[in-house]
């Protein structure tokens, strides 16, 4: 058991009391998270506008207009050969 002298005050050092570094680090982290959150929402809005103006092609279109078949050479037959 420790005994304290009644004449000494039980207060931490003034340097420890005035140290605001942890609070500043937490504020900086919060600020960075808020910026990333706002940026992600702006990017999501821009992506929605781009997809609305330029819809992706229909890859299930087998006529060759929008599917991957438009990149195949025309001299290769598309019918499968059965034996």
The answer to the question of residue 10 being in a domain is: no
| Residue 55, domain extent | 35-72
The mean per-residue pLDDT over the stretch 34-44 comes to 94
36: helix, strand or coil: helix
Phi, psi dihedral angles at 27 (to 5 degrees): -65, -40
The answer to the question of residue 65 being in a domain is: yes
The reported pLDDT for the residue numbered 17 is: 73
The answer to the question of residue 82 being in a domain is: no
The answer to whether residue 3 scores a pLDDT higher than 60 is: no
The answer to the question of residue 18 being in a domain is: no
Q: pLDDT band at residue 40, thresholds of 50, 70 and 90?
A: very high
32: helix, strand or coil: helix
The answer to the question of residue 1 being in a domain is: no
- Split into its structural domains, the chain has a count of 1
Phi, psi dihedral angles at 36 (to 5 degrees): -65, -40
The answer to the question of residue 26 being in a domain is: no
pLDDT tens, position by position, 16-32: 777 888 999 999 999 99
């Amino acid at each position: 058991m420790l005994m304290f002298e009644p004449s000494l005050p039980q207060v931490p050092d003034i340097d420890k009391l005035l140290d605001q570094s942890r609070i500043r680090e937490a504020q900086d982290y919060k600020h960075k998270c808020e910026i990333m959150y706002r940026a992600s929402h702006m990017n999501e809005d821009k992506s929605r506008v781009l997809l609305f103006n330029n819809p992706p092609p229909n890859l299930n279109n087998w006529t060759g207009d929008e599917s991957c078949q438009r990149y195949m050479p025309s001299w290769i037959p598309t019918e499968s050969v059965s034996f």
